[in-house]
A and B are shown apart, each in its own frame.
Chain A
Amino acid sequence: MNIQQKQTGACLTLKLLEQQGVSDIFGYPGGAIMPIYDAIYDSPIKHYLCRHEQGAAFAAVGYARASGRVGVCMATSGPGATNLLTGLADAMIDSIPIVAITGQVATKAMGSDGFQEVDIVGLSLACTKHCFQVKDISQLSAYLTKAFEIAQSGRPGPVLIDIPKDIQVSRIESSLELVQQSSQEEEVNMDHIQAAANLIDQADKPIMYVGGGLGMAGAVADLKHLNSRFQVPSVVTLKGLGCIHPTEPHYLGMLGMHGTKAANLAVQEADLLLVLGARFDDRVTGKLAEFAPNAKIVHMDIDPAEINKRKQADVSVVGDLKMTLPLLAKRVIGDTEKIKNWHQRCRQLIQQGQPEFDHDGDNIFAPELLFQLSGVLNEDAIVTTDVGQHQMWAAQTMHFNHPSQFITSSGLGTMGFGIPAAIGAQISAPKTQVVCVSGDGSFMMNVQELATIKRYQIPVKILLIDNSRLGMVRQWQELFFERRYSETDLSDNPDFVTLASAFNIKAKTITKKEEVSSSIQEMLNHPKAYLLHVKIEAMENVWPLVPPDTANHLMIEKTPLKSQVN
Chain B
Amino acid sequence: MFVGEKIMNNDSHTFEITAENQPTLLERLLQVTRYRGFLVIEFNVLPCSDNRRLDIKLTVQDPDKANLSGDNGVQRLYNQLNKLFDVNHINIKQTSTLQCQA
Contact = CB atoms under 8 A, between A and B. Distances in A.
B60 to A, nearest CB: 16
B85 A130 contact: yes
A304 B27 CA distance: 22
B85 A150 contact: yes
B24 A288 contact: no
Tell me the dominant secondary structure on chain B's binding face: helix
Contacts of A129: 85
A515 B94 CA distance: 69
A312 B24 CA distance: 32
Interface residues of B, number: 18
Nearest to A288: B69
Contact of A125 (B28, B70, B82): B28
Nearest to B75: A308
Interface in B27-67: 27-28, 31, 35
Contact of A309 (B24, B76, B85): B76
A305 B72 contact: no
A133 B24 CA distance: 9
Of the listed residues B24, B35, B72, B82, the one surrounded by the most CB atoms of chain A closer than 10 A to its CB is B24
Interface string B59-97: 000000000011010011001101111100000000000
Interface string A97-141: 000000000000000000000000110011001110101000000
A312 B28 CA distance: 27
Nearest to A129: B85
Nearest to A289: B69
A97 to B, nearest CB: 14
Nearest to A309: B76
A302 to B, nearest CB: 11
Contacts of A312: 70, 72
Given A125-B24, A125-B28, A312-B70, A305 B85 contact: no
B28 A308 contact: no
A225 interface: no
Interface string A304-344: 11011110100000000000000000000000000000000
Nearest to B81: A305
Contacts of B28: 125
A303 interface: yes
Contacts of A131: 24
B69 A305 contact: no
Contacts of B70: 312
Contacts of B82: 304-305
A209 B82 CA distance: 26
A139 to B, nearest CB: 11
Nearest to A307: B79
A303 B72 contact: no
A438 to B, nearest CB: 32
A317 B34 CA distance: 28
Contacts of B24: 121-122, 125, 131, 133
A116 to B, nearest CB: 21
Interface string B7-34: 0000000000000000110011001000
A305 B31 contact: no
B27 A308 contact: no
B27 A303 contact: no
Given A121-B24, A129-B85, A133-B23, A308 B31 contact: no
A303 B76 CA distance: 12
Contact of B35 (A121, A126, A288, A304): A126
A307 B70 CA distance: 14
Nearest to B35: A126
3 A-B pairs closest in CB distance = A305-B79, A130-B85, A125-B31
11 contacts: A121-B23, A122-B24, A122-B27, A125-B24, A125-B31, A130-B84, A133-B23, A303-B83, A305-B76, A308-B72, A308-B75
Interface of B: 23-24, 27-28, 31, 35, 69-70, 72, 75-76, 79-80, 82-86
Interface of A: 121-122, 125-126, 129-131, 133, 135, 150, 288, 303-305, 307-310, 312
